[in-house]
Chain A
Amino acid sequence: MQLTLHRSAAPYPPERQRPRVGFFTDTSICIGCKACEVACKEWNNVPADDCGFSGDSYDNTLALGADTWRHVAFIEQRRPLGLREEPGTSLVQEAAAGQLGADGELPVHEDAGFRWLMSSDVCKHCTEAACLEVCPTGSLFRTEFGTVVVQEDVCNGCGYCIPACPFGVIDQRKDDGRAWKCTLCYDRLRDDMEPACAQACPTKSIQFGELEELRARAERRVEQLRGAGEPGAQLYGADPQNGVGGTGAFFLLLDEPETYGLPPDPVDTTRDLTEIWQTAALAGAMLVAGSVLALIGSRR
């Protein structure tokens, strides 16, 4: 027996264990159509969320949550124009300073100064899933596909998984009390179908498959993009050495993770649990010691 308060996966008997599956979300080819959001809601019968107008680009969903299991992020970025850019100068000022071409046109295309980043976010299905580790009822469990799923008939709404998740994925459904998140379409997987979001994605930005194969494919894709002059291209979550032992759903990003609202170095805090309990034991001993100290010298 291992003396540690942290474990990565519950083993299944070989005849029940299936290859680990996941998502490779290649954000470089996401067109922001939100078909994934719609397909997910339809298939999983996820209630409508409070859909207002956010003003944050085309994103009115805003974040993953109990009623949002796929979330498409929209980021509008200025990119360097290759022009002299001093604080306070604008294109108009630059034009006035004689930077326009002889024909009166800008020497760069208008769209070269701007780019969209779009990315469909989802539960990461961590190798070391904090939500699953801290769940006191065993409602959260690891499936034979290596994914992390909430058993809604067991969940009693204690809410511990919610601040435990380093990605802010799982949340409580207010009128229902229980915690909800992406199941990676567990029902469809058992019928050898791909998850609804992956099937609905028209550009194959969301790719479903066996994790090993997806990781190899993603490595090739990131090399291709870097070669094509996209130095910001990077894989997020694919590294089994990261703080959650690698994620089952990983991403190809074109900018730093925090730009997309993702934590740059997420950690399964259960990794520190043994140490935290040791500290607590010491603190408990000091409580006893303090009480004894108060006893000594106090008169009857």
Chain B
Amino acid sequence: MTEVRRGPGQVGASPTGAGKGGRGERRMVEPDRPRSYYGRSVIKEPVWSWEIPTYFFVGGLSGGSAVLALLADVSGRPEVARRAWPVSLASAAVSPALLISDLGRPERFYNMLRVAKATSPMSTGTWILTGLSGSNVVATANSLFGWFPRLGPFSKLSAALLGPLLSTYTAVLIADTAVPVWHEARRELPFVFAASSAASAGAAAALLSPRSQAGLGRRLAILGAAGETAASRLMERRLGTLAAPYRTGTAGRLSKLATGMTIAGAGILAVAGRRRPAGRVGGSLLVLAGAATERWSIFKAGFQSARDPQQTVGPQRERLANS
């Protein structure tokens, strides 16, 4: 028997076997050799459901809003702060409900709180969320009712410092998996999540603040939307062939929708957001919807990527060939 080594290029080329009816090329031995086991996936698809991408969005909104709220406080925009703090608190408050509801054994959620484990982004995230929620209760009470006059400023600072972590740790969490479209995007995913959080927080503030103080939120929404679009484009470009899930199926459709809504929303905010209330409201809602859809797209892409054995095998073969 002649041993034939396959190049990495062949692996990604055809899921069922290269060389069938090879246009004039000399046919090598073992033409029907499978590149996968009956086309089955190598790794398992995640078992997470709708709560998780919802949480990605809501958690991002909470984290971004905490940063925005502190800045509004220190820059003398009380009307913005009085809205951004409750937004941050409310979205942090629904987060545990979403996360617990997704557990296979919801009644055992407290087992997360029995350990702090640095090698598990989910454990780290649990503590970030716990810390931010706690700080936020005090921060919001202080902002709305003037309670906790001494503890208030510390809580606000603590919430604003944990905010960026809450916005980005979810990217760390999915990047630390064997799912190719997530793991291979580990250098870009945190930026997509951070920018998307900024856009959400800005849009929520622009939506809720009185016209006189809506400028900060509006500008942040436009800036975040631009960053989100740029970061996700960069992610898809660097993923190369691995970006296929963002072009096909559910994730592909959601990705297009997210980009469309984000760009349209930012455009409306930029052109009509300052003068016309309808433009501000419509643009803000579109940016918010775009950010939520972006997380859904990334979430769904992971399932499509895990399902495809070539997504797993292709880059690994390439790595072996280059080592």
**Mutual binders A and B:** yes
Q: Closest B residue to A284 by CB, please name it.
A: B164
Whether B103 lies near A157 (C-beta < 8 A) is yes
Question: Cα distance A261–B44 when bound, in Å?
Answer: 12
Question: Any chain A CB within 8 A of the CB of B176?
Answer: yes
Given A158-B122, A163-B178, A290-B198, A263 and B42 contact (CB-CB distance below 8 Å): yes
Question: Cα distance A284–B198 when bound, in Å?
Answer: 10
Whether B105 lies near A279 (C-beta < 8 A) is no
Question: Any chain B CB within 8 A of the CB of A155?
Answer: yes
Whether A87 lies near B191 (C-beta < 8 A) is no
Question: Cα distance A6–B215 when bound, in Å?
Answer: 44
Question: Cα distance A177–B122 when bound, in Å?
Answer: 18
Question: Cα distance A208–B165 when bound, in Å?
Answer: 45
- In this complex, the interface size class of chain A, counting residues with CB under 8 Å from chain B, is 35 or more
Q: Which of A270-300 contact B (CB under 8 A)?
A: 270, 272-273, 275-277, 279-288, 290-295, 297-300
A112 shortest CB reach to chain B, Å: 10
Q: Which residues of B contact A137 (CB under 8 A)?
A: 108, 111-112, 114-115, 123
Question: Any chain B CB within 8 A of the CB of A211?
Answer: no
Q: Which residues of B contact A263 (CB under 8 A)?
A: 42-43, 312-313, 316
Specify which of A264, A273, A281, A300 is in contact with B212 (CB 8 Å cutoff). A300
Question: Any chain B CB within 8 A of the CB of A138?
Answer: yes
Question: Any chain B CB within 8 A of the CB of A200?
Answer: no
Whether B37 lies near A261 (C-beta < 8 A) is yes
Specify which of B46, B202, B302, B313 is in contact with A258 (CB 8 Å cutoff). B313
Whether A258 lies near B309 (C-beta < 8 A) is yes
Question: Any chain A CB within 8 A of the CB of B194?
Answer: yes
Whether B224 lies near A290 (C-beta < 8 A) is yes
Q: Which of A134, A263, A269, A280 has the most CB of B within 10 A?
A: A280
Q: Which residues of B contact A279 (CB under 8 A)?
A: 186-187, 190-191
* B168-179 near A? 1/0 per residue, CB < 8 Å: 110111011111
Whether A280 lies near B223 (C-beta < 8 A) is no
Q: Which residues of A contact B213 (CB under 8 A)?
A: 300
**Of A18-26, A34-42, A167-175, A217-225, which binds chain B?**
A167-175
Q: Which of B194, B227, B319 has the most CB of A within 10 A?
A: B194
Question: Cα distance A14–B74 when bound, in Å?
Answer: 57
Whether A158 lies near B164 (C-beta < 8 A) is no
A58 shortest CB reach to chain B, Å: 12
Specify which of A77, A134, A157 is in contact with B33 (CB 8 Å cutoff). A77
Whether B168 lies near A87 (C-beta < 8 A) is no
Specify which of B178, B202, B224, B313 is in contact with A165 (CB 8 Å cutoff). B178
Question: Cα distance A212–B21 when bound, in Å?
Answer: 47
Given A80-B29, A276-B175, A284-B167, A171 and B37 contact (CB-CB distance below 8 Å): no
Given A80-B29, A164-B177, A270 and B193 contact (CB-CB distance below 8 Å): no
Specify which of B2, B114, B202 is in contact with A294 (CB 8 Å cutoff). B202
Question: Any chain A CB within 8 A of the CB of B298?
Answer: no
Question: Cα distance A264–B8 when bound, in Å?
Answer: 11
Q: Which residues of A contact B227 (CB under 8 A)?
A: 286, 290
Whether A283 lies near B193 (C-beta < 8 A) is yes
Question: Cα distance A77–B31 when bound, in Å?
Answer: 10
Given A86-B27, A280-B168, A299 and B190 contact (CB-CB distance below 8 Å): no
Q: Which of B91-146 contact A (CB under 8 A)?
A: 102-106, 108-109, 111-112, 114-115, 117-123, 126
B49 shortest CB reach to chain A, Å: 9
Question: Cα distance A59–B218 when bound, in Å?
Answer: 58
Whether A5 lies near B119 (C-beta < 8 A) is yes
Given A130-B178, A167-B43, A170-B44, A75 and B119 contact (CB-CB distance below 8 Å): no
Q: Which residues of B contact A261 (CB under 8 A)?
A: 36-38, 40, 42, 309
**Of B64-72, B241-249, B252-260, B284-292, which binds chain A?**
B64-72
Specify which of B33, B167, B176 is in contact with A259 (CB 8 Å cutoff). B33
Specify which of B48, B112, B164 is in contact with A288 (CB 8 Å cutoff). B164
Question: Cα distance A109–B306 when bound, in Å?
Answer: 41
Question: Cα distance A138–B120 when bound, in Å?
Answer: 10
Known pairs A157-B108, A178-B105; list 16 more (Cβ under 8 Å).
A85-B29, A87-B27, A130-B178, A136-B115, A137-B112, A156-B105, A158-B102, A159-B102, A163-B178, A168-B41, A170-B44, A263-B43, A264-B320, A269-B183, A276-B172, A291-B201
Residues of A participating in the B interface, judged by any CB pair closer than 8 Å: 5-7, 54, 56, 59, 62-63, 65, 73, 75, 77-80, 85-87, 130, 133-139, 154-160, 162-172, 176-179, 229, 231-232, 255-256, 258-267, 269-270, 272-273, 275-277, 279-288, 290-295, 297-300
A sample of 18 inter-chain contacts (CB < 8 A) reads A77-B32, A78-B32, A79-B30, A85-B29, A137-B123, A156-B103, A156-B111, A231-B3, A232-B3, A261-B36, A264-B316, A269-B176, A276-B186, A283-B164, A287-B64, A290-B223, A294-B202, A298-B218
